[in-house]
Amino acid sequence: QVHSTPLVVFPPWINKYYILDLKAKNSFVKWVVDQGYTLFMVSWVNPDSAYSDVGMEDYVEDGYIAAIEQVKAITEQKQVNAVGYCIAGTTLSLTLSLLKQRGDTSVKSATFFTALTDFSDQGEFQPFLTDDFIDGIEAETEDKGILPSIVMARTFSFLRSNDLVYGPAVKSYMMGETPPAFDLLYWNGDGANLPARMAMQYLRGLCQRNELAEGGFDLCGRHLVLEDVDIPLCAIACETDHIAPWKDSYRGVQKMGSNDKTFIMTQSGHIAGIVNPPSKGKYGHYTNEDLGLDHAAWQEGAEFTAGSWWPRWEAWLDKRSGEMIEARIPGAQGKEILCDAPGTYVAVKSRS
């Protein structure tokens, strides 16, 4: 049996979706299915120059809303629960504002994994968000029609240069040590390009000008604001995240309009903090129901729980996922199955 309300997961399109399904022992996908949920995972195309004019509005309309409508049709449900990871969580908030303004109640609850919606404190990213740097990125995208995956990979590596640049160089080049086979590192090297239009909308409008959190972001013919995100939400942030600092994620959640908010801060970083199955017994998490506090006071008053945050989140999701029904069978009632998992997009390498 499964819960009647399906779950649709939107992973970041900066890398491939399979970070949440690396192997049986640490697969978030497998664990969620084992708890009795019908789970749909979005796999994003890896764009080449033909996608140069694809913007954030296309990701919202042809990605999020199209996927939600498909999931509703396949499961014959009026609502879904949604998860957005990193940039996909940022875009999920845009989608929720748009749906609110359209009077569309298709999303019952939202979960945000390490998602930023308030970019007012640029922190370690500040050097990469100056006009000089972004002007260079813009020239690159105008020339190639995409922001190549290697540019994003290098930027993130520079934020943790000792771990991701100098350390590996010393071990492999100077000491001749073969890097160990490691699923997270393989995924990290399997990057994806970004369409030129989408990349600049994100870097200029959201990151540099912080429009979503400070006045609103114009998209799809609407003025989208965080206050419109008023459905039940759960946000998970990571204590040592160098890409989406937890205090910045927390500040964005505070500005959302929902009266039903849960915020969890897990130990470790952007990936290991999320891919943290209960079976490992690693990385505990912090909770505090008072989201009116600033981030320092929230942390000081937070309660620490040993072990993975997954069971706590599942208990939250269970209450918002409807009654138990007979498990669904893929392809039932003549519905088309395109191909076996993991699909075709995931096999496409970065190319210009």
Walk me through the domains of the chain, giving residue ranges and CATH numbers: 2-118+218-347 (3.40.50.1820)
Q: Is the bond preceding 342 in cis, omega lying within 30 degrees of 0?
A: yes
pLDDT in tens, the chain (352 residues): 999 999 999 999 988 899 999 999 999 999 999 999 999 999 999 999 999 999 999 999 999 999 999 999 999 999 999 999 999 999 999 999 999 999 999 999 999 999 999 999 866 666 667 888 889 889 999 999 999 987 776 665 545 545 555 566 666 767 777 766 677 777 877 889 999 999 999 999 999 999 999 999 999 999 999 999 999 999 999 999 988 999 999 999 999 999 999 999 999 999 999 999 999 999 999 999 999 999 999 999 999 999 999 999 999 999 999 999 999 998 888 888 988 888 899 888 755 4
Active site residues: 86
How far is it, in rounded angstroms, from Cα 127 to Cα 150? 18
Indicate the pTM of the whole model.
Answer: 0.92
**Amino acid residing at 245:** P
How far is it, in rounded angstroms, from Cα 275 to Cα 19? 8
Which residue's entry shows tokens 């399109």?
13
How far is it, in rounded angstroms, from Cα 291 to Cα 297? 10
